[in-house]
Structure 1
Amino acid sequence: MGTVFTVAGIAHFRKPEKFANITPGFIPFKTFIAYFTGVLELVFGILLLAGKIRNWQLSGMQKFLWAVFPANIYMYTHREKLGLSHLPKWALLARLPLQNLMSRMLEDLKR
């Protein structure tokens, strides 16, 4: 999971406009949010890879996963508007349970 967070964090800096675009319309400062979430994902990834993680950090990661969940819903419901028509709708729908799965994996690390 550390690799997933790290790669996702790097992607935020390589293509910030993609992450800004999937931020739902009611959220301001989309580019800032893209970079900020990228920093968080990098930090989370490094902590997980280093194995130097505390329960409160794992809880923070879980909260983060749920905070970014609306972006996944937005991608699914606005696929054409976001230029994601090349992705099958089922694939975007299949991404939605991943947040819950990752949150459960983090919960297991707390034990």
Structure 2
Amino acid sequence: MPAPLTRDLQGLAALFATSGVLHLVRPGPFESITPRQLPARRGLVYASGVAEIACAAGLLHPRTRRLAGWASAALLVAVFPANIQMALDETRRVERRLGSGRSANRRRQAATIARLPLQLPMVRTALKATRDRAAGTRHTAA
């Protein structure tokens, strides 16, 4: 039996679906936080958007929930460098603009940094989908 569709898994699916659509409709902001060392950044943004939508759909269906849990956890780890890039970019912007609008800039900087450890509970939630309902055990990816 697959893991039950709990509220936190529903929330993660909703987050993935929303973010995935935004990646496809407005790729610019996501492209700007993709680490500069990576090639074809726009293509990576589109690919991650499609992956997020696929993960969202997979988490919602019992037959695909386990595989989608593994894929979701992997996706969250894979996009973590973009979150780090966003925090670094925002910190540089704040350092350049220490004059006007300082408190708003600091709040935005704090939000980008605070977001980094939030990836851990999201990965943990994704991994919940890999567990068997009856035994509460994880299955290894085949």
Fold similarity call, TM over 0.5: yes
Higher RCO, Cα 8 Å, sep 6+: 2
| Alignment: residue pair count | 108
Name stretches of at least 5 consecutive residues in structure 1 with no aligned partner: none
What is aligned with 1:57? 68
Q: Deviation per CA, 1:5-29, whole angstroms, max 9, x where unpaired?
A: 0000000011111111110110110
Within 1, Cα distance between the matches of 2:106 and 2:40? 27
Q: Deviation per CA, 1:14-62, whole angstroms, max 9, x where unpaired?
A: 1111111110110110000010000000111112233442433311211
What pairs with 1:1-111 in structure 2 (closer than 5 Å)? 1-79=12-90, 80=93, 85=105, 88-111=108-131
**Structure 2 contact 13–56 (Cα < 8 Å) conserved:** yes
Structural RMSD (CA): 1.8
Q: Deviation per CA, 1:62-89, whole angstroms, max 9, x where unpaired?
A: 11111100000000001129xxx58521
Identity of aligned residues (%): 32
Q: What is the TM-score normalised by the length of structure 1? A: 0.87
Structure (1 or 2) with the larger CA radius of gyration: 2
